[in-house]
C-alpha cells in the first residue's frame, strides 16, 4: 500500500473517531498549494539540463509550513503529498507551531558535480523564493540533501530578502545551525523508547534491540541506546547485516562503518541475510530505513514485543492488524521520529531570537517535548480507546482541526 493511501486511511479513521464533519475533513486533506517549477542549468560540460522542482505546502493553520527537500530521481507526486500531509500531523503531535510541507527536485545527486548541485539549488531557490519564508514555509534537508544544500538556499534567498538564517533549518553550525541537530532524530527515538518502556515498567537497560538501517537516525539511535545500557543484537544497512546475541560493540561498529562505508565485513558479529533482520529475536525492533518494510509477508514472523518506527511509514496497515492481534506494541512514526523536526524548531527559534543555545539545553528541551508528547498521545488513546497510532493521529488531527475552526477557515 503506498504512503498516500495509508496516510489518508489513518487520517479518515482519526477524523471518524473525533467526529469531524465531512466538510472540515475534506478541507483538512486538500493541500494549501502545490508548486511545480522547471529548473534549467548549464552543466560543467556546457550543455543545458532541465529538472523539475516542486513543493507541496499542505497546511498552515498552526503556523509556517515545514518539511524536507529531497533530491531523488523518482520523486513521486503522491508520495510527496503524503509526506507533506504527514508533516502537518507530526508537527501538531509534537506541539510545535508549524504546518506541513515537502518538496524536492527530480535528479540523481550522485550523477551531478558539487558545482552543478549548487547551480541547481540556486535556480530552484530563485523560482520559489517568494513562496517560502521565515513565517511562510521553512525547508529542511531530506534524502540527497544536507547542510550544504541549506547553506546555498539560505544564501540565494538572502539575496532577495536580506540575511535570513531562519528561512531553512538543518544548516551548518557556522551559518546558524543548532547544536544537537545532527543527533536529534536518533536522540528523539531514544526518549520515545524510554517513555514507552517506562509505561510497561521496563527501562532501556538490558533490553535487546534490533536496528534496521544504519544511516543518520539508526547509527545515532544505536549509539545512544547502547550508552544507556541497551543491548543491540543485530544491525543492517544497504551493504549487509550483522548479528551478535551477546551485543554488538557499537563504538567499534561506528568506526568500521566510517572506514568501510557500511556494516558489511564487521568482525564483531556474524553476517546474516539483511532480509531476515526484521524477524531476528529481540525485545525492541527499530526500523530506521525505508517505508513499507513490515508487511503481511513478514509480520507473522516478527518476534519483537515493541516496534519503534524511526523510519517514515515502515509498517503497512495489513501488518498493523496482524501485529496488534499478536499483542505487539507499535510506537508510530509521527511521534517516534519527531525529534528531528522538534530540534529544527529550536534552530528556527534561536535564529529568530539571534541567541544560540548550548547543546545541553537543546537536548533537555527535546526530552521535555518528547516526554510530554508521549503523555498527550496516551491521553488520546484513553479518550478514544485506541492504539498508539490512532492516539497520535487523533491528537495531531484534532489540534489542526481546532486551529482551522478557530481561524474561521472551515468550509
Catalytically active residues, by annotation = 102
344 annotated binding-site participant: yes
Q: For 4, left (φ over 0), alpha (ψ -120 to 50), or beta?
A: alpha
Which three three-digit cell numbers place residue 281?
529475536
Judge whether 53 and 103 are in contact, CB under 8 Å: yes
For residues 40 and 119, give the distance between their C-alpha atoms in angstroms, rounded to a whole number. 9
185 annotated binding-site participant: yes
Closest CA to 84 of 67, 96, 63, 97: 67
Q: What angle do CA 200, 203, 205 make, to 5 degrees?
A: 150
Q: What is the DSSP string of 380-402?
A: HHHHHT--HHHHHHHHHHHHHHH
Q: Which residue has the cell 510541507?
A: 101
Query: Over 300-355, what HEC string results?
Result: HHCCCCEEECCCCCCECHHHHHHHHHHCCEEECHHHHCCHHHHHHHHHHHHHHHCC
Q: What angle do CA 230, 238, 217 make, to 5 degrees?
A: 45
Judge whether 228 and 322 are in contact, CB under 8 Å: no
385 annotated binding-site participant: no
For residues 237 and 187, give the distance between their C-alpha atoms in angstroms, rounded to a whole number. 19
At 276 the three-state DSSP class reads: helix
Which segments are annotated as binding site for substrate? Answer: 66, 90, 344
Which segments are annotated as binding site for NAD(+)? Answer: 185, 216
Which segments are annotated as binding site? Answer: 66, 90, 185, 216, 344
Amino acid at each position: 500500500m503506498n504512503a498516500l493511501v495509508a496516510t489518508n486511511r489513518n487520517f479518515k479513521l482519526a477524523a471518524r473517531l473525533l467526529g469531524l464533519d465531512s466538510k472540515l475533513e475534506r478541507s483538512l486533506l486538500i493541500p494549501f498549494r502545490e508548486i511545480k517549477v522547471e529548473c534549467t542549468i548549464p552543466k560543467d560540460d556546457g550543455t543545458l539540463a532541465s529538472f523539475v522542482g516542486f513543493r507541496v505546502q499542505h497546511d498552515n493553520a498552526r503556523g509556517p509550513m515545514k518539511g524536507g527537500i529531497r533530491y531523488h530521481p523518482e520523486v513521486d507526486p503522491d508520495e510527496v503529498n503524503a509526506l507533506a500531509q504527514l508533516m502537518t500531523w507530526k508537527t501538531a503531535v509534537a506541539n510545535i507551531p508549524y504546518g506541513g510541507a515537502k518538496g524536492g527536485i527530480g535528479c540523481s545527486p550522485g550523477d551531478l558535480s558539487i558545482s552543478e548541485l549548487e547551480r541547481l539549488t540556486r535556480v530552484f531557490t530563485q523560482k520559489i523564493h517568494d513562496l517560502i519564508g521565515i513565517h511562510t514555509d521553512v525547508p529542511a534537508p531530506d534524502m540527497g540533501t544536507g547542510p550544504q544544500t541549506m547553506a546555498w538556499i539560505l544564501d540565494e534567498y538572502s539575496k532577495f530578502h536580506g540575511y535570513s538564517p531562519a528561512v531553512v533549518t538543518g544548516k551548518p553550525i557556522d551559518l546558524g545551525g543548532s547544536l544537537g541537530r545532527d543527533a536529534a532524530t536518533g536522540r528523539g527515538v531514544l526518549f520515545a523508547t524510554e517513555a514507552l518502556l517506562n509505561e510497561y515498567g521496563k527501562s532501556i537497560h538490558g533490553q535487546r534491540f534490533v536496528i534496521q538501517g544504519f544511516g543518520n537516525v539508526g547509527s545515532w539511535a544505536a549509539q545512544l541506546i547502547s550508552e544507556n545500557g541497551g543491548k543491540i543484537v543485530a544491525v543492517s544497512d544497504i551493504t549487509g547485516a550483522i548479528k551478535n546475541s551477546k551485543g554488538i560493540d557499537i563504538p567499534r561498529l561506528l568506526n568500521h562503518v566510517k572506514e568501510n562505508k557500511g556494516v558489511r565485513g564487521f568482525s564483531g558479529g556474524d553476517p546474516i541475510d539483511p532480509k531476515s533482520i526484521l524477524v531476528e529475536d529481540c525485545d525492541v525492533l527499530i526500523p530506521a530505513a525505508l517505508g513499507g518494510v513490515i508487511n503481511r509477508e513478514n509480520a507473522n514472523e516478527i518476534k519483537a514485543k515493541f516496534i519503534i518506527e524511526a523510519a517514515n511509514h515502515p509498517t503497512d496497515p495489513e501488518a498493523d492488524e496482524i501485529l496488534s492481534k499478536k499483542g505487539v506494541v507499535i510506537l508510530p512514526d509521527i511521534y517516534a521520529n519527531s525529534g528531528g523536526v522538534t530540534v529544527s524548531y529550536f534552530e528556527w527559534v534561536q535564529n529568530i531570537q539571534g541567541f544560540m543555545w548550548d547543546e545541553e539545553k537543546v537536548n533537555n528541551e527535546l526530552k521535555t517535548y518528547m516526554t510530554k508528547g508521549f503523555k498527550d498521545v496516551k491521553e488520546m488513546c484513553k479518550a478514544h480507546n485506541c492504539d498508539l497510532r490512532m492516539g497520535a493521529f487523533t491528537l495531531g488531527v484534532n489540534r489542526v482541526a481546532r486551529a482551522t475552526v478557530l481561524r474561521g477557515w472551515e468550509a
